[in-house]
Amino acid sequence: MAGKGRASVNDMKRVEVLVLMEIDQQTEDNGGPYGFSRKTLAERVGVSPYRARAAIDRLDSEGMIDVVSRYSDDGGQLANGICLTERGEWYLEGVRTGMLVQEMLEDEVADR
């Protein structure tokens, strides 16, 4: 959409799912909250930093993620940590299950 007009609801949900998947993957890989900038998150999911921030804000307000302040040992502030809540994990599991069902149906149609 390149900054013109408003994104569709489907597109916003797509970005939210991509953000949830990235947070989940990074949390699993690093053994703790996802802790890098929104700019980096945006690059990883292929959207603008504005859209990544908007998705984070929506997911936070919907109770899908927790955003926590992080600090270094000397007291300096680090990038916020982001992790999925139980609700976010449940939602993402449902999305992944739906994706698997869709794949199975497409395979079945292709086999006919």
The answer for residues whose C-beta is within 8 angstroms of residue 54's C-beta and 6 or more apart is 12, 15
Name the residue ranges covered by the structural domains of the chain: 9-111
Alpha-carbon distance 100 to 66, whole Å? 27
Alpha-carbon distance 57 to 55, whole Å? 5
% of residues, the chain, pLDDT over 70: 91
pLDDT at 5: 54
pLDDT digits (tens, 9 = 90+) for 55-70: 999 999 999 999 888 8
Q: Which fold has domain 9-111?
A: Arc Repressor Mutant, subunit A (1.10.10)
